[in-house]
A and B are shown apart, each in its own frame.
Chain A
Amino acid sequence: MQITSAVIVREGIVVKDASVVFRSTETGSAFLNAAYEALEVMYPRFYKMDLLSKTGTVAVDALLKERTDLEHWRPEDTGMVLSNRNASIEADVQYLEASKAYPSPALFVYTLPNIVIGEISIRYQFKGENAFFISETFDADWMHWYVTDLMQRHLLKVCICGWIDVMDERPEACLFLVEQAPSATGQHFTVENLRSIYNKNYGK
Chain B
Amino acid sequence: MENKQELVQRLKEQIIKQLKLEDKKPEDIGDHDPMFVEGLGLDSIDALELIVLLQQEYNIKLKSAEEGQDVFRSIDTMADYILEHEGK
Q: Are B52 and A47 in contact (CB under 8 A)?
A: no
Q: Chain B interface: which of A59-67, A100-108, A123-131?
A: A100-108
Shortest C-beta distance, A53 to chain B (Å), equals 12
CA distance A31 to B22 in the complex (A): 15
Q: Are A102 and B52 in contact (CB under 8 A)?
A: yes
CA distance A105 to B50 in the complex (A): 10
CA distance A56 to B19 in the complex (A): 20
Q: Are B45 and A109 in contact (CB under 8 A)?
A: yes
- For chain B, the count of residues having a C-beta within 8 Å of the partner chain is 13
Shortest C-beta distance, B21 to chain A (Å), equals 7
* Interfacial chain B residues near A109, Cβ < 8 Å: 45
Interface string of B44-58 (1 = CB under 8 A from A): 011011001001100
* Interfacial chain A residues near B22, Cβ < 8 Å: 33, 47
CA distance A75 to B33 in the complex (A): 34
Q: Are A48 and B56 in contact (CB under 8 A)?
A: no
* Interfacial chain B residues near A33, Cβ < 8 Å: 22
* Interfacial chain A residues near B23, Cβ < 8 Å: 44, 47
Q: Are B48 and A44 in contact (CB under 8 A)?
A: no
Interface string of A88-113 (1 = CB under 8 A from B): 00000000000001111110010000
Shortest C-beta distance, A26 to chain B (Å), equals 14
Shortest C-beta distance, A48 to chain B (Å), equals 5
Q: Are B52 and A48 in contact (CB under 8 A)?
A: no
Q: Are B49 and A106 in contact (CB under 8 A)?
A: yes
Q: Are A106 and B56 in contact (CB under 8 A)?
A: no
* Interfacial chain B residues near A47, Cβ < 8 Å: 20-23
Q: Are A106 and B55 in contact (CB under 8 A)?
A: no
Shortest C-beta distance, A108 to chain B (Å), equals 9
Shortest C-beta distance, B51 to chain A (Å), equals 8
Q: A48-B20, A106-B45, A106-B49 are in contact. List 4 more A-B contacts (CB 8 A).
A: A47-B20, A48-B19, A103-B52, A106-B46
Report A's interface with B, CB cutoff 8 A: 33, 44, 47-48, 101-106, 109
Chosen A-B contacts, 7 in total, with CB atoms closer than 8 Å, are: A44-B41, A47-B23, A102-B56, A105-B45, A106-B45, A106-B48, A106-B49
5 shortest interchain CB distances as A-B pairs = A105-B48, A47-B22, A48-B20, A47-B20, A102-B56
